[in-house]
Homo-oligomer: A and B are copies of this chain.
Amino acid sequence: MTGEKKRVEVCYSPSQWHLYKNNYEIAVVIDVLRATSAICTAVENGVTIVPVSSVEEAKDYQNKGYIAAAERDGQIVEGFDMGNSPVSYKDPELKGKTVVLTTTNGTTAINIAREKETVVIGSLNNLDSLCKWLKEQDKNILLLGSGWKDKFNLEDTICAGAIADELIESQKFFAEEDSTIAAKFIYRSAKENIFSFLKASSHRKRLRNLNLNEDVKYCLTPNNLTVVPILKGDEIVAVNLEVEKA
């Protein structure tokens, strides 16, 4: 550590990325409902994820023999076996395999963040492990919410707020942006019962209408995973956890 505080800030959606992106070495991509929760679950289960932005790209990989998953507007795209339901990535049959994934918001956000030196995947599921790892890096960090079709969303903001709060409390980080102050504030108000806090949120309603309430409960459960997924080339894999195990 240099002893100098590093910066951690929150960008609410990919449409704001260009306004915030400068001077950060690490991007954390967050899509709580459900892409990054699914990716964390997959990687913890030994699955490698290849994130792609479009359904066409996923289709191309599928035609080459890859397992491909595609979600749009909360539903599995026709012609694909999987979407972004986290539970589906726990399948022991998938262990050791690669899944190509495209989702409405999350995989696009990952591909936008690629220009950074380091891209890691955040969710409520891997909150503590991720924060522990981030604190060890001594780098400036931008937390990117995937939003909903480029708009602000509550669940990604709560998750980003949780990470920012933990990092700032460690005294190793500072924040200056109003977006970060607001995210921290919303997280602190929501943290006792995130599920209930989000009852009015637009995407929870959307998923409830699709009978995906169990998925929502899973995604809103902090720390049921310990993995830190990181982008290496085209693949998302588990970061080396030696530091954490020490």
Contact = CB atoms under 8 A, between A and B. Distances in A.
Contacts of A185: 186, 189
Tell me the number of copies of this protein: 2
Given A16-B15, A19-B15, A152 B200 contact: no
Interface of A: 12, 15-16, 19-20, 148-154, 157, 176-179, 181-182, 185-186, 189, 200-203
Contact of A181 (B12, B150, B154, B177): B154
Contact of A178 (B15, B20, B154): B154
Q: Is the interface of A mostly helix, strand, loop or mixed?
A: helix
Contacts of A154: 178, 181-182
B157 A182 contact: yes
Contacts of A20: 151
B201 A178 contact: yes
A226 B150 CA distance: 36
Contacts of A189: 185, 189
A178 to B, nearest CB: 4
A19 B150 contact: yes
